[in-house]
Every structure is written in C-alpha cells, then in structure tokens.
Amino acid sequence: MHIVVPPPGGVRDRVFRPPADTGPGFVFMDGPGPLDLPCGSCGRVLLRGLRELLPVPHLLFECPGCAALNAICPPEPA
C-alpha cells in the first residue's frame, strides 16, 4: 500500500476509518492468505491475510496508528 498525499477530497474516494476503540491488533481485513499490507507511513499492518493483491481504486484506509490515508493502488489521474 502507499500513502495518499495530500488526502483526497474527491467524492469518488471511499475512506474506511477505524473504530474509535481499536486495539493494537486491529486490522481492516483478516484473511487466510499470505499477503499482509502495511501502512505506507508507519508500517502497521492494515490488511492481513489477503490471497492476492487486487487493485481497488477509490478505496482508502485510514491508518489507526498514524491516520495516514492508504490506497491499494494509485488514484487515477484527474
């Protein structure tokens, strides 16, 4: 994953935010696959156990550790 800077304000982007009471083990997804996707800023794992890396445009994950917005693939050029 990589960090989206600056955070996009476009309505096409859907941001997944962590709940307020996240513990250190919180991940947005937890699966049986071999891939872990860490935050591009602090390295905290946000998506765990993916089977394969699928580009998901316009989907952002806010890191519960450092609040950086992470994208699985780059946003499309404006």
Residues that bind Zn ion (CB under 5 A): 39, 41-42, 44, 63, 65-66, 68
Cis peptide before 57 (omega within 30 of 0): no
Write out the DSSP string of 7-29: PP--TT-EEE---TT--TT--SE
User: Is the Cβ of residue 51 or residue 67 nearer to Zn ion in the bound state?
Assistant: 67
CB of 52 to Zn ion, least distance (A): 23
User: Is the Cβ of residue 35 or residue 51 nearer to Zn ion in the bound state?
Assistant: 35
User: Is the Cβ of residue 49 or residue 65 nearer to Zn ion in the bound state?
Assistant: 65
Determine the Cα–Cα distance for residues 21 and 28; give it in Å rounded to an integer: 13
